[in-house]
Amino acid sequence: MKEQIVLGCVTLSAMGSRTEVFRLLEQAVSQGITHFDTARSYGRGYSEKLLGEFFKAHGGALAVTTKFGVTYSETGALPTLIALPLNRLVKNLRPLVGLGLRLGKAESGRKEVERNPSAIGDLPSALAAKVGRDVVERSVEEFLKQLGREKVEILLLHEMLPGQLTEEARGYLEGLRKAGTVGRLGCGTRREVLERHFREDPMVEVLQYEGSLTERPRLMGRFPGKAHIHHSLFRGVGRGGHGEALRRALELNPGGKVIFSTRSREHLRENLEGLG
Ligand X SMILES: NC(=O)c1ccc[n+]([C@@H]2O[C@H](COP(=O)([O-])OP(=O)(O)OC[C@H]3O[C@@H](n4cnc5c(N)ncnc54)[C@H](OP(=O)(O)O)[C@@H]3O)[C@@H](O)[C@H]2O)c1
Residues at the site binding ligand X, with contacts judged by CB under 6 A? 8-10, 37, 158-159, 188, 208, 231-234, 242, 259-264, 267, 270-271
Least separation in angstroms between CB 49 and ligand X? 15
Alpha-carbon 78 to chain mean position: 22
The residue count of the chain comes to: 276
Q: 30 or 264, CB closer to ligand X? A: 264
Q: Which is nearer to ligand X, 31 or 100 (CB)?
A: 31
Q: Nearer Cβ to ligand X, position 19 or 108?
A: 19
Contact between 263 and 272 (Cβ < 8 Å): no
Smallest gap from residue 139 Cβ to ligand X (A): 15
Shortest CB 38 distance to ligand X, Å? 7
CB of 270 to ligand X, least distance (A): 5
CA distance 89 to 84: 9
**Backbone conformation region of residue 124, classed left if phi is above 0, alpha if psi is from -120 to 50, else beta:** alpha
Measured CA angle at 269 (ends 47, 259), to 5 deg:
45
Using the minimum distance from each CB to ligand X, give the nearer residue, 158 or 170. 158
Least separation in angstroms between CB 144 and ligand X: 19
Q: Which residues contact 171 (CB under 8 A, 6 or more apart)?
A: 133
Residue 131 DSSP symbol: B
Burial 127-165 (b: 16+ CB within 10 A, else e): beeebebebbbebbebbbebbebeebbbbbbbbbbbebb
Task: State the minimum distance, in angstroms, from the CB of residue 215 to ligand X.
Answer: 17
Name the residue whose CB lies closest to ligand X: 8
Smaller CB distance to ligand X: residue 58 or 267?
A: 267
Q: Which is nearer to ligand X, 80 or 212 (CB)?
A: 212
User: What Rg, from alpha-carbon coordinates, does the chain have?
Assistant: 19
Residue closer to ligand X, measured from CB, 100 or 236: 236
Tell me the one-letter amino acid at 201.
D
State how far the alpha carbon of 150 is from the alpha carbons of 6, 32, 132, in Å: 20, 23, 22
Name the minimum Å distance from CB 253 to ligand X. 14
